[in-house]
Amino acid sequence: MAQIGTAGNQGPGIRSDCYISLKLKNNGGIKINLTSKVDALYKESIQDLATQILDFFRVEHAVLDINDRGALPFVLAARIEAAIKQVLESDAEFWLDLIPENKYQTEKNKTRRSRLYLPGNSPKLMLNAGIHQPDAVILDLEDSVAADKKEEARLIVRNALRAVNFYGAERMVRINQLPMGLEDLEHVVPHHVNLVLIPKCESAEQVLSVDQKITQILTEKNLNYPVYIMPIIESALGVIKAFEIASASQRVAALSIGLEDYTADLGASRTLEGRESFFARNQLVNAAKAAGIQAIDSVFSDVADMDALRIVVLESKSLGFDGMGCIHPRQIKVIHGAFAPSEAEIEKAKKIVIAFEEATDKGLGVVSLGSKMIDPPVVKRALKTIAVALETGLLPGDWKDQIQK
Amino acid sequence: MATKFVKNAVGRMIPEEINGKPVIPFQGVHGYITEGVRYAPPLPSCANYPKDGNKLVKDLKTALKESGVKSGMTISTHHHFRNGDLIANQIFQAASEMGLKDLVWFPSASFPCHEPMIEYLEDGTIHHIEGSMNGPLGRFASLGKMKGTGVLRSHGGRYQSVQDGEVVIDVAVIAAPTADPFGNANGLTGDSACGLLGFALGDSQYAHKVIVVTDNLVPFPCIPWQIQGNYVDYVVEVGQIGIPEKIISGTTRITRSPDRLFIADLTAKFCDEVGIIKDGFSFQAGAGGTSLAIGNYFGEIMREKGIKARFARGGSNQYLVDMLEEGLIDYILDGQTFDLAGVKSMRENPNHVNTSPFTSYNYHGKGNFAGLVDVVILGATEVDVNYNANVVTHSDGLLLHGIGGWQNCLFSKTVILPIPLFRDRIPIIRDEVTTICGPGELIDVIVTERGIAINPRRKDLLEKTKNSKLPIMTIEELKEEGEKICGVPEPVEFGERVIAAIKWVDGTVIDVVRQVLE
């Protein structure tokens, strides 16, 4: 075990975070040295929280330095716990109260147009993520977290799942590549996570091992909410195995593609046109749809170029994808706009749905619009278009009444 | 002798005396009407001035000596060069060398570049500052280190205090980007062009002695003469009066923070939904990154609707100028230019009009411009559940900002404060603000990223948003949401000493700032 445990971030640019340093002693009791940007308003509350956590882990003699830059309690708690676990062996976990707002469950086929990546060890970015109303947030334990910060990030992500209100966004966590990812599950599954992303997925076995671990944790803890899986395909082999991955488990709700790693695996450069990944994206969409789940596109990395993003999203939609990742809140609006049904699509769908309902009322087996017969899949698509338009506010709930007027 | 305190109309305890002068406590928004006549400076005669109109003297120190400046007098300066001002520090350096003591510095605003003033506050040259104290000076005053008590006024309040004789300016030093030897001056041309000299106008008219300092001396006549030479006693030519790059404020770029853009977007949507953005409307958005973004969103809405604004109030900048040139705005009525695009536009576009605090904000005017503006977007460090707002101190009590035109703008038809619900861990909605700068009855809407609160006095706005999809909440709900995230703040303990007074626009004292304990 280390002599001194340290956790968190420090430096002039750091906000809403803190840096903790803990040294165990043989005697002298607990000494807390607090330097805080907000000590005029939260000095006592920070000291109380620190004392409570030290007590919880039965630390009796130690010097705890807290350099606070306006960290919220969930951050302070995670950082202090991370520092403690570097200097003493403990399986105990200091859980904050689960806020009632975070107890929601999601549907397997819910709308997943956008999912906002949030680096797992950068709490500041998590605070307001929900206000931008992405369909989902991804608390990332994988690529955005440095190798020596993995432990700290797990605690931040765990605490965020319990204490940060994401205002209804589906709460996803990207675990590390297996087998480390299986350990990550211990820190996320008991905390009402809605979906787990498996990076660099290449086989059905990987999906199954995650599935089994999730089930095991839920059973052990006597929890019974759904936890879905979204494998991310990021290699040539993964693309070939897409269908078996997509259909490996009932938990798999969507299949996603990561184009940076995929193009690297191919030995091709990633271009704006994306010709190099055309096959992979088609294959992925096809596999996902064959398995009856959603297909989710990669992220677009130029956060300043909204026009290029719009073009990419429109192409994505035209290939059959249901959503894509985003790495900046500004991208959400563009992605939602481009995935939304167009005015013409909505108008057409309205007519078809009304014709369908009339035909059903009259007990007719065949739906027709004017002189044209409408096939069942067209009706199905129109119903989906209307559902999305209603959900995204493009169509008022009373649209049928408005037509009749 | 212990100072006696009385409670004012917003419930704050106000000393009966500040800097040895009697204090009138705030009596309500229009509760106090001054009577009498305007203050007048001594009557000059042209016979006493050079016949050839050449008022040039050797240097600043000579001009100060000739002005007859003595210990205890009041010297005024102006903030047209913002954080690039090079003159104010030199005045007090000269004063210190001359052995003057207990001067009152009366700036229209101070900036971090005025940190060297601390030396003159410490050595007794300056007794106290009557004007904003930003950054380092505010911290110095907050810790109780200033000899006298600071007095903060709005831009309009500064003019009011000069006009009714509450402040007598012994010497005004006006740094001017262009001037002639007679003292005519403007801010439009020269290497240090800053646009206009509106904040110095009143000082030129009411000060006993007026010194113009320039780094661009032109032969008579200096056209246009924003400052008239007839008011000027001495002219000084120096190498440089300001650093042009620093005249441009750091806050004049549209924010790139997604959270602030979100608040800006929500504010614009609110204005649109309640019908504020209509053909011929008027608006004022400040210089902050969020305010600029709101102006930009207003532009998008106007373009979409094919309408335009009759006028916008400046601080002007590139974005506002672009809107003027695109035809989205008929006129910019400008109090200060925030960037070089603003300066150029004011110089070249007759529809970009310069205004002084007298035109736009003055309490002793026959009418108030601010009341003609449909919507004004302002900032705040804190707001309380009664909609009282603070712009000068932080929640830990440190005095770090000036009032600027903020109080004066509160008289517009709708006042909106777009602010984040919390900064770091500090919640913005409080039970009581640390310092009241504006009474809640003048503040209409608080827009945060987590909800919009409408002052219950604005039944019309509540009615218009009754079926809205906008996140309308009560201010108590907003406060609760902020405290749920940050925790309930602990009470802050202050020292006994009053370190600054906050004046209301009519010259009464609306609140005081107490010493921060180290």
Q: Which residue has the tokens 């330095």?
A: A65
What is the pLDDT at residue B137?
A: 96
Number of separate helices (H) and strands (E) present in chain A: 15, 14
Picking from A285, A195, A157, the residue whose alpha carbon sits closest to that of residue A233 is A285
- Decide: helix, strand or coil at residue A77: helix
How far apart CA A329 and CA B345 sit, in angstroms, is 35
Q: Taking CB atoms and an 8 Å limit, are A42 and B489 in contact across chains?
A: yes
Contact criterion met (CB < 8 Å) for A41 and B485: no
- Of the candidates B258, B395, B490, the beta carbon closest to that of A44 is on B490
Report, as an integer, the average pLDDT of A321-338: 94
- Which tokens in the block code for residue B172? 């005004």
Q: What is the mean pLDDT of chain A?
A: 94
Note the pLDDT tens digit of each residue in A161-185: 999 999 999 999 999 999 999 999 9
> For residues B334-372, b (16+ Cβ closer than 10 Å) or e, as one string?
bbbbbbbbbbbbbbeeeebebbbbbbbbbbbbeebbbeb
Angstrom distance (rounded) from CA A207 to CA B415: 56
Q: Which residue of B lies nearest to A304 if distances are taken between CA atoms?
A: B256
B interface with A, Cβ–Cβ below 8 Å = 258-259, 261-262, 395-397, 423-426, 449-450, 469, 485-487, 489-490, 492
Residues of B in contact with A160 (CB under 8 A): none
Listed residue (A402, A268, A266) closest to A347, CA to CA: A402
Across the interface, whether the CB atoms of B487 and A42 are under 8 A apart is answered yes
Residue owning tokens 């030129």 = B204
pLDDT tens, chain B, 518 aa long: 568 999 999 999 999 999 999 999 999 999 999 889 999 999 999 999 999 999 999 999 999 999 999 999 999 999 999 899 999 999 999 999 999 999 999 999 999 999 999 999 999 999 999 999 988 999 999 999 999 999 999 999 999 999 999 999 999 999 999 999 999 999 999 999 988 999 999 999 999 999 999 999 999 999 999 999 999 999 999 999 998 778 766 556 777 889 999 999 999 999 999 999 999 999 998 777 788 899 999 999 999 999 999 999 988 888 899 999 999 999 999 988 888 889 899 999 999 999 988 888 889 999 988 999 999 999 999 999 999 999 999 999 999 999 999 999 999 999 999 999 999 999 999 999 999 999 999 999 999 999 999 999 999 999 999 999 999 999 999 999 999 999 999 999 999 999 999 999 999 999 999 999 97
- Kindly report the nearest CA distance between residue B518 and chain A, in angstroms: 10
Q: Using the beta-carbon criterion (under 8 Å), do B485 and A69 form an inter-chain contact? A: no
Task: Tell me which residue of B316, B425, B474, B447 sits closest to B380, measured CA to CA.
Answer: B447
Residue of B nearest to A73 (CA): B486
Q: How far apart are CA A136 and CA A296, in angstroms?
A: 12
- For residue B436, what pLDDT is reported? 98
Measure CB to CB from residue B259 to each of A44, A72, A128 and give the nearest one: A128
The mean pLDDT value for A128-150 works out to 96
Return the half-sphere exposure (C-beta side, CA atoms, 13 A cut-off) of residue B45. 2
**How far from chain centre, in Å, is Cα A264?**
24
Question: Is residue A391 over pLDDT 90?
Answer: no
Cα distance from N-terminal residue to C-terminal residue, chain A: 75
Coil vs helix vs strand at B7: strand
Beta-carbon separation of A128 and B449 below 8 A: yes
Contact assessment for residue B414 and residue B375, using Cβ atoms and an 8 Å cutoff: yes
Q: Do A43 and B450 touch (CB under 8 A)?
A: no
- A38 and B426 within 8 Å at the Cβ level: the answer is yes
Of the candidates B200, B206, B121, B197, the one whose C-alpha atom is nearest the C-alpha of residue B169 is B206
> Is there a contact between B337 and B316 (Cβ–Cβ < 8 Å)?
yes
The share of chain A scoring above pLDDT 90, in percent, equals 79
| Residue in chain B lying closest to A71 (CA) | B425
Residues of chain A with C-beta less than 8 angstroms from the C-beta of B490: 40-45
Q: What local confidence, expressed as pLDDT, does residue A197 receive?
A: 98
Is the pLDDT confidence value at A377 over 80?
yes
The structure tokens listed for B195 are: 């646009």
> What is the least distance, in Å, from the CA of B210 to any CA of chain A?
44
Q: Do B449 and A73 touch (CB under 8 A)?
A: no
Contacts for A33 with CB less than 8 Å, ≥ 6 apart: A63, A64, A65, A66
A-B C-beta contacts closer than 8 Å: 59
Dump the DSSP string for A207-254: HHHHHHHHHHHHHHTT-----EEEEEE-SHHHHHTHHHHHTS-TTB-E
| Residue B512 CB partners (closer than 8 Å, separation 6+) | B12, B13, B14, B15, B435, B498, B500, B501, B502
Q: How far is B434 from chain A (nearest CA, A)?
A: 12
Half-sphere exposure of B513 (CA within 13 A, CB side): 36
d(CA B263, CA A242): 42
Chain B residues whose CB is inside 8 A of the A16 CB are 424-425
| pLDDT value of position B105 | 98
A interface toward B at CB cutoff 8 Å?
15-16, 37-38, 40-45, 69-73, 127-128, 131-132, 165, 328-330, 393
pLDDT over 80 at A392, yes or no: no
Nearest Cα residue in chain A from B471: A131
pTM: 0.93
Question: Would you call B397 and A44 a contact, using CB atoms and an 8 Å cutoff?
Answer: no
